[in-house]
Amino acid sequence: TVPFKKHTLTLGPVSPTSWAVNASSNPFAYNPRCLRRDISQYVSSHSTTSQLMYETIVNHEDLYGFQVDLEGNMTKFTSGEFGLHTGGHLTIGGDPGEVCDLHGLVYFIWSYTMWIWQIQKPEKRTYALSGTITIGNIPPSRNGTLDDVLDMGFVGAEPIQIRDAMSTTGGEYCYVCT
């Protein structure tokens, strides 16, 4: 047997990466289906390597440059350069290949990368923030602040200020990535 053999997804998909997905007209509606995988050797060997993880961690003092390498530069996607985060989704493929289907993704190499980057200079990086309040700045919006609120109601979580979600060992959280 394999892990997650009988694991059932119940949400989504929001934007399916496969024509064979039983998509619901409401991506947040109850939609039970089997967890699917489709490992991509190309993406895993180009976008999720330990060398790329190392370079992403050590080559950036500022959060913006770190995030571009971690998340992937969308202008390079067509050439097969996805970054660790996007590459993680696309390596696993199947349902997790759909970016919004995080509950189907059982590992997060990019979160380890972020954690390692933060703990190298915790006083400078734990609360480092970069970017706007809309994904990809679409529509154009102001820069986010630590006082902005993350509304996670769609997954059943209470709203939380960004500052309260920045540390894995402070506030309500108490874990380290090992």
pLDDT number for residue 143: 97
| R_g over Cα of the chain | 17
Residue 116 in tokens: 């390692």
* CA–CA separation, 176 and 169 (whole Å): 7
For residues 26-49, b (16+ Cβ closer than 10 Å) or e, as one string? Answer: ebeeebebebbeeebeebbeebbe
- Please give the Cα distance from 127 to 62 (Å, whole number): 12
Task: Indicate if the pLDDT at residue 59 is higher than 50.
Answer: yes
Residues 107/89, Cβ–Cβ less than 8 Å: no
Q: Which pLDDT value is given to residue 34?
A: 74
pLDDT at 105 over 70: no
Q: Residue 120 pLDDT > 80, yes or no?
A: yes
pLDDT tens string 126-147: 999 999 999 888 999 999 999 9
Residues whose CB is less than 8 angstroms from the CB of residue 61 and which lie 6 or more positions away in sequence, other chains included: none
Helix H or strand E encompassing 157: none
3-state SS class at 40: coil
pLDDT of residue 109: 60
pLDDT band at 106 (very low <50, low <70, confident <90, very high): very low
